[in-house]
């Protein structure tokens, strides 16, 4: 007979990248509250290194657009070079720099305008993960 934990589906692992510590903390908590496992990083270069070490361990990525060292659009492109099927959701407070149309053109799975609310974050993630299931 299987134990209760063996019957539970393995948690999906989400990589969250945002250079603002408070925003990162809130996003991490919202996702964990919804049952996801989360790896959170403030540095986009470090996030790319972590992703590159085990790209198939992640189910999806949330990334901020404007960050030091590497913006989210470049980070997304590099992650897609490593693993083309990874669902990436772009988050930004600057709609003039990046739009939902640009996200679609770049092959991203979603786009969220900051401030991000729990319900929209989880719905966008579920939609992004749906084709993979």
Structural domain contains residue 73: yes
Polymer length of the chain: 133
pLDDT for residue 40 is more than 90: yes
Task: Provide mean pLDDT across the span 81-97.
Answer: 89
Q: Which of 6-10, 19-23, 38-42 has the lowest mean pLDDT?
A: 6-10
Structural domain contains residue 69: yes
Domain with residue 71: its CATH number is: 3.40.50.2300
Structural domain contains residue 5: no
Q: Total domain count for the chain?
A: 1
Task: Provide mean pLDDT across the span 95-118.
Answer: 87
Structure tokens at 7: 């019957």
Q: Which residues contact 6 (CB under 8 A, 6 or more apart)?
A: none
Structural domain contains residue 24: yes
- Range of the structural domain that residue 72 is part of: 11-117
Structural domain contains residue 3: no
Structural domain contains residue 94: yes
* Average pLDDT over all residues of the chain: 90
């Amino acid at each position: 007979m299987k134990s209760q934990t063996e019957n539970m589906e393995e948690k999906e692992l989400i990589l969250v990248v945002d250079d603002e510590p408070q925003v990162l903390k809130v996003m991490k908590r919202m996702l964990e509250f919804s049952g996801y496992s989360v790896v959170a990083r403030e540095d986009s270069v470090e996030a790319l290194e972590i992703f590159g070490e085990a790209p198939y361990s992640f189910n999806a990525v949330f990334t901020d657009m404007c960050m030091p060292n590497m913006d989210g659009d470049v980070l997304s492109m590099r992650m897609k070079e490593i693993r083309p099927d990874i669902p990436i959701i772009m988050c930004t407070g600057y709609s003039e720099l990046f739009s939902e149309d640009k996200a679609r053109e770049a092959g991203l799975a979603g786009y969220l305008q900051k401030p991000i609310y729990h319900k929209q974050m989880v719905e966008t993630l579920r939609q992004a993960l749906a084709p993979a299931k």
